[in-house]
Every structure is written in structure tokens, then in C-alpha cells.
């Protein structure tokens, strides 16, 4: 097991000095940064003037 492979994902997440030390917090921060919650597109249609 090489420690570098576990810390590699942390580099794109943000410049963290922990990436060099390869500590567990490095992986935790990466997991939190990797989780991207995108709100679903909500289309709201407002009733307009009714022409008769």
C-alpha cells in the first residue's frame, strides 16, 4: 500500500499541506469536497393573463 495513492485525490480538492504528510484528515477533506450536491432544475410556471 502506498500512501501517495490515497492522498492524490486531495490535491485537486484544494492546496492542503496535509497532502504531503498523507494523514487521514487529507482524505476526509477530499471526500467532503468531492461531494457536489446539485439542486434539481425546478421550472415554475406562473399563470398569465387569460385571453378569451
Q: Could you read off the pLDDT of 1-50 as tens digits, one per residue?
A: 444 444 454 445 445 554 455 545 554 455 445 556 677 778 777 777 76
Residue 24 sits in which domain range? 3-34
Question: How many domains, the chain?
Answer: 1
pLDDT of residue 45: 76
pLDDT of residue 49: 75
Q: What is the chain's Cα-based Rg?
A: 22
Residue 23: inside a domain? yes
18/25 Cα distance (integer angstroms): 7
Q: How far is CA 20 from CA 3, 11, 38, 45, in A?
A: 10, 10, 31, 52
Tell me the per-residue pLDDT of 24-38, one tens digit each, with 9 for 90 and over. Answer: 555 445 544 555 667
Residue 45: inside a domain? no
Residue 26: inside a domain? yes
pLDDT of residue 32: 47
Residue 50: inside a domain? no
23/6 Cα distance (integer angstroms): 9
Amino acid at each position: 500500500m502506498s500512501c501517495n495513492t490515497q492522498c492524490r485525490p486531495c490535491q485537486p480538492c484544494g492546496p492542503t499541506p496535509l497532502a504531503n504528510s498523507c494523514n487521514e484528515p487529507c482524505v476526509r477533506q477530499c471526500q467532503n469536497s468531492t461531494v457536489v450536491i446539485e439542486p434539481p432544475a425546478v421550472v415554475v410556471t406562473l399563470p398569465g393573463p387569460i385571453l378569451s
